[in-house]
């Protein structure tokens, strides 16, 4: 019985590797919050990922409950914060962006579907005060009926 | 006994597959799928003190108040009618009827003849059916919540309201250009957006209702 020729196996794996390198992007921050995004039908994709600032809102995930409790929390970059920290954070992020991105900067609110509007409103008010008016509620696609 | 040809031994490449497997697994771990989608909204400018003291006057027929209360029920206040409750499934059609006012009802937004036109580099763009259009340019949909309202309900209501505008633009695109909105070029889309301007205003939530 002739041996199976495996010389093309590396090429195959390399193409899978390249595929994944293209369709994925580096994970920048560790997400310390559990969230399940709401579902919608009128969604659009982000055109420029470098011009997006992520804000996570939800309950701390299981590793952090002992430290931060089970209440609704806001995560900015790698740390937990209060809604009142959002304004300075967004201004800071905007200043560290490239000029071209600053003009089209967008904030993506990745909030759990079970949070209440109180905290959302506080965050939105901070964004308005920081004049960061382009906002996106992150969501998952729901197939239209 | 001359050595005519010496055979070069091949490099053993059998481990290349293992190496690339390790690279592949590394990338699977440190990267994430590019799956950022969401509902785009535009926040209003921060409120000035003057605005709070003299809120802009809006005629009753021009305003549709959608209140999502703390029990996640959707209450509609429109015109002179008393507030009434509706289900989420009815909201889109109600918003569409309100925005277009096709039947020219007296309790729905008034229609004005206005120029739907925009200019870019000295070129004016208008819709195929003409420059002047009768549109309900003064209507406002006011989306209100309580602090205790669930975000998911709020999101679904927003989704329906923005969906109403998207459907209307799509219908307009089909009527004017015979194509769906997504297949129009940028200028044509801009005209459809001018015809049906998004007029969703989000007031600060009422503080009654308590709790975060």
**Predicted complex ipTM:** 0.80
* Containing structural domain, residue B137: 54-165+196-202
Shortest CA distance from B145: residue in chain A: A117
Shortest CA distance from B147: residue in chain A: A118
Instruction: Give the separation between CA B96 and CA A14, rounded to whole angstroms.
Output: 52
- Average pLDDT value for residue range B47-72: 77
The helix (run of H) or strand (run of E) holding residue B198 is none
Phi, psi at residue A6, to the nearest 5°?
A: -105, 15
Band of pLDDT at residue B211, cut at 50, 70 and 90: very low
Band of pLDDT at residue B35, cut at 50, 70 and 90: low
Distance from CA of A119 to the nearest CA of B (A): 7
Closest by CA to B47, choosing from B197, B203, B206, is B203
Dmax over CA atoms of chain B, in Å, equals 112
Please determine, for residue A64, whether its predicted confidence score (pLDDT) is greater than 90: no
Band of pLDDT at residue B160, cut at 50, 70 and 90: very high
Best mutation target, B14, B34, B37, to test chain A (most A CBs within 10 A): B37
Distance, C-alpha A16 to centroid of its chain: 25
Band of pLDDT at residue A24, cut at 50, 70 and 90: confident
Instruction: Give the separation between CA B78 and CA B109, rounded to whole angstroms.
Output: 10
Any domain includes B46: no
Q: Which structure tokens are listed for B185?
A: 């070029």
* Containing structural domain, residue A78: 30-141
Q: At what angle do helices B88-100 and B151-177 cross, to 10 degrees?
A: 40
pLDDT at residue B79, as a whole number: 76
Cβ(B195)–Cβ(B172) below 8 Å = yes
Coil, strand or helix at A102: helix
Tens digits of per-residue pLDDT, B91-130? 899 889 888 888 888 888 888 888 888 888 888 888 888 8
Please determine, for residue B154, whether its predicted confidence score (pLDDT) is greater than 80: yes
The helix (run of H) or strand (run of E) holding residue A68 is helix A65-68
Q: Among B16, B28, B38, whose Cβ lies nearest the Cβ of A139?
A: B38
- The four Cα atoms B141, B147, B149, B153 give a dihedral, to 10 degrees, of 50
- Average pLDDT value for residue range B146-157: 90
Instruction: Give the separation between CA A106 and CA A44, rounded to whole angstroms.
Output: 13
Instruction: Give the separation between CA A140 and CA A132, rounded to whole angstroms.
Output: 23
Instruction: Give the separation between CA B103 and CA B97, rounded to whole angstroms.
Output: 9
Q: Do A20 and B28 touch (CB under 8 A)?
A: yes
Count of domains in chain B? 1
Shortest CA distance from B69: residue in chain A: A117
Cβ(B70)–Cβ(B149) below 8 Å = yes
pLDDT at residue B209, as a whole number: 37
Dmax over CA atoms of chain A, in Å, equals 75
Q: Do B46 and A128 touch (CB under 8 A)?
A: yes
Any domain includes A11: no
- Average pLDDT value for residue range B165-181: 90
Percent of chain A with pLDDT over 90: 6
Any domain includes B49: no
Range from A21-25, A71-75, A80-84, B1-5 carrying the lowest mean pLDDT: B1-5
Tens digits of per-residue pLDDT, A131-142? 888 899 998 888
Band of pLDDT at residue B210, cut at 50, 70 and 90: very low
Percent of chain B with pLDDT over 90: 12
Any domain includes A10: no
Which residues in B lie closer than 8 A to residue A124 (C-beta atoms)? 43, 202
Q: Do A45 and B43 touch (CB under 8 A)?
A: no
Q: What share of chain B is helix, strand, coil (3-state, %, to 5)?
A: 35, 25, 40
Please determine, for residue B72, whether its predicted confidence score (pLDDT) is greater than 80: yes
Any domain includes B105: yes
Q: Do B43 and A121 touch (CB under 8 A)?
A: no
Q: At what angle do helices A9-23 and B16-30 cross, to 10 degrees?
A: 10
Any domain includes B48: no
Any domain includes A22: no
Q: Among B13, B41, B156, whose Cβ lies nearest the Cβ of A135?
A: B41
pLDDT at residue B205, as a whole number: 56
Any domain includes A17: no
pLDDT at residue B34, as a whole number: 58
Q: Do B39 and A45 touch (CB under 8 A)?
A: no
The helix (run of H) or strand (run of E) holding residue A108 is strand A106-111
User: DSSP per residue over B42-99, as a string?
Assistant: EPPPPPPHHHHHSPPP--GGGEEEEEE-TT--EEEEETTSPPEEE-HHHHHHHHHHHH
Coil, strand or helix at A24: strand
Cβ(B139)–Cβ(B98) below 8 Å = yes
Shortest CA distance from A71: residue in chain B: B212
Any domain includes A20: no
Q: How many CB pairs under 8 A join A and B?
A: 159
Please determine, for residue B43, whether its predicted confidence score (pLDDT) is greater than 90: no
Count of domains in chain A? 1
């Amino acid at each position: 019985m002739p041996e199976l020729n495996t010389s093309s196996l590396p090429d195959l794996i390399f193409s899978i590797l390249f595929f994944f390198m293209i369709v994925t992007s580096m994970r920048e921050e560790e997400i310390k919050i559990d969230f399940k995004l709401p579902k919608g039908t009128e969604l659009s994709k982000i055109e420029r990922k470098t011009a997006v600032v992520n804000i996570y809102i939800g309950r701390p995930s299981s590793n952090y409950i002992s430290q931060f409790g089970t209440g609704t929390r806001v995560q900015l970059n790698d740390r937990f914060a209060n809604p009142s920290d959002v304004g300075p954070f967004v201004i800071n992020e905007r200043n560290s962006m490239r000029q071209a991105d600053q003009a089209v900067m967008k904030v993506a609110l990745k909030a759990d579907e079970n949070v209440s509007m109180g905290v959302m409103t506080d965050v939105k008010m901070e964004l308005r005060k920081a004049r960061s008016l382009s906002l996106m509620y992150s969501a998952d696609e729901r197939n239209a009926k | 006994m001359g050595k005519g040809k010496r055979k070069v031994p091949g490099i053993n490449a059998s481990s290349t597959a293992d190496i690339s497997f390790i690279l592949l697994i590394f990338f699977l771990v440190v990267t994430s799928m590019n799956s950022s989608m969401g509902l785009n909204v535009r926040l209003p400018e921060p409120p000035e003190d003057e605005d709070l003291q003299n809120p802009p006057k809006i005629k009753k027929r021009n305003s549709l108040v959608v209140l999502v209360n703390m029990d996640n029920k959707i209450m509609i206040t429109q015109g002179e009618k008393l507030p009434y409750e509706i289900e989420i499934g009815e909201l889109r059609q109600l918003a569409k009827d309100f925005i277009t006012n096709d039947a020219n009802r007296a309790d729905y937004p008034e229609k004005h003849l206005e120029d739907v036109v925009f200019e870019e580099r000295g070129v004016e763009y208008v819709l195929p059916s003409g420059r002047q259009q009768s549109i309900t340019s003064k209507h406002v949909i006011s989306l209100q919540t309580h602090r205790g309202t669930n975000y998911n309900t709020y999101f679904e209501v927003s989704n329906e309201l923005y969906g109403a505008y998207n459907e209307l633009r799509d219908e307009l695109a089909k009527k004017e250009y015979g194509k769906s909105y997504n297949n129009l070029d940028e200028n044509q889309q801009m005209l459809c957006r001018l015809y049906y301007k998004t007029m969703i205003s989000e007031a600060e939530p009422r503080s009654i209702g308590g709790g975060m």
